[in-house]
Amino acid sequence: MSIDEATAGLRQDGAAHLGGRSRCQHMLQTSEAARLARRLTVKYGEAALGFARERADRAIEIGDDIAFEAWQSVIEATRHLLHPSGGV
């Protein structure tokens, strides 16, 4: 799976979409964040969390608040997958 496949649910502005319709403008829905987290975790294992954090950092660098919030949702879901007991 490529990064493009893993992040296929995100528009360039970071909002999730399905069938051409925007979902939440400020945050990925929990199910979408969980789906992306699963795909990243399958592909990258423990490194998935770092990947998502790098994307969130990049969103901050370019001033994209929507993408930042979307990646924060993915980070939270990834953290839960990798450390279900609440660790890092």
| pTM score of the predicted model | 0.67
3-state secondary structure of 44: helix
Q: Calculate ∠ Cα 59-48-21, nearest 5°.
A: 55
For residues 72 and 57, what is the distance between their CA atoms, to the nearest angstrom? Answer: 10
What residue spans of 1-88 are helical by DSSP H?
3-6, 30-44, 47-61, 65-82
pLDDT of residue 26: 44
Q: CA 28 → CA 51, 82, 85, 87, distances in Å?
A: 17, 19, 23, 23
pLDDT (tens digit, 9 = 90+) per residue, 48-61?
Answer: 999 999 999 999 99
pLDDT (tens digit, 9 = 90+) per residue, 3-43?
Answer: 455 555 554 444 444 344 444 444 568 889 999 999 999 99
